[in-house]
Amino acid sequence: MTRQLITSALPYINGIKHLGNMVGSMLPADVHARYLRQRGRDVLYICATDEHGTPAELAAKEAGLPVDEFCARQHEAQKAIYEGFHLAFDYFGRSSSAQNVEITQTIARELQKNGFIEERPIRQVYSNTDGRFLPDRYIEGTCPHCGYDKARGDQCENCTRVLDPTDLIEPRSAISGSSDLEIRETRHLFLLQSKLAAEVESWLDAQSADWPALASSIARKWLAEGLHDRSITRDLDWGVPVPADTWPDLAAEGKVFYVWFDAPIEYIGATKEWADAAPAGEFRDWKSWWYEADDSVRYTQFMAKDNVPFHTIMFPATLLATRDAWKKVDYVKAFSWLTYYGGKFSTSQQRGIFTDAALDLLPADYWRYFLIANAPESDDTSFTWELFSSGVNKDLADNLGNFVNRVLSFSRKRFGDTVPAGRESGAPEARLGEQIARLLAEYEGHMDTLQFRKAAAALRALWSAGNSYLEEKAPWTEIRTDQEGAALTLRTAMNLIHLYAVVSEPLIPATTKAMRAAFALPADSPAAQLRWVSADQARALDFIPAGTAFAVPPVLFAKITDDDLESYRARFGANAP
- Binding-site entries for Zn(2+): 143, 146, 156, 159
Secondary structure of 233-261 as H, E, C letters = EECCCCCCECCCCCCHHHHHCCCEECHHH
Spell out the alpha helix ranges (H) of 18-172.
19-21, 27-38, 54-63, 67-84, 98-113
**What sign does the dihedral 542-548-552-553 (CA atoms) show?**
negative
Least Cα distance to 392 among 140, 560, 175 occurs for: 560
Continuous segment of H or E residues that includes residue 8: strand 3-8
| E strand intervals along 128-247 | 132-133, 139-142, 151-152, 169-173, 181-191, 230-231, 233-234
Cα 548 from chain centroid (whole Å): 38
Rounded distance, CA 558 to CA 401, Å? 9
CB contact set of 9 (below 8 Å; sequence gap of 6+): 24, 25, 26, 301, 302, 303, 304, 307, 311
Rounded distance, CA 188 to CA 190, Å? 7
Least Cα distance to 525 among 547, 540, 505, 507 occurs for: 547
Residue 70's CB: how many other CB atoms inside 10 A?
22
DSSP letters spanning 304-326: EGGGHHIIIIIHHHHHHHTTS-B
Cα 206 from chain centroid (whole Å): 26
Rounded distance, CA 337 to CA 379, Å? 7
Annotated binding residues: 143, 146, 156, 159, 347
Least Cα distance to 120 among 179, 194, 70 occurs for: 194
Q: Is residue 58 a contact partner of residue 175, using CB atoms and an 8 Å limit?
A: yes
Annotated binding residues for ATP: 347
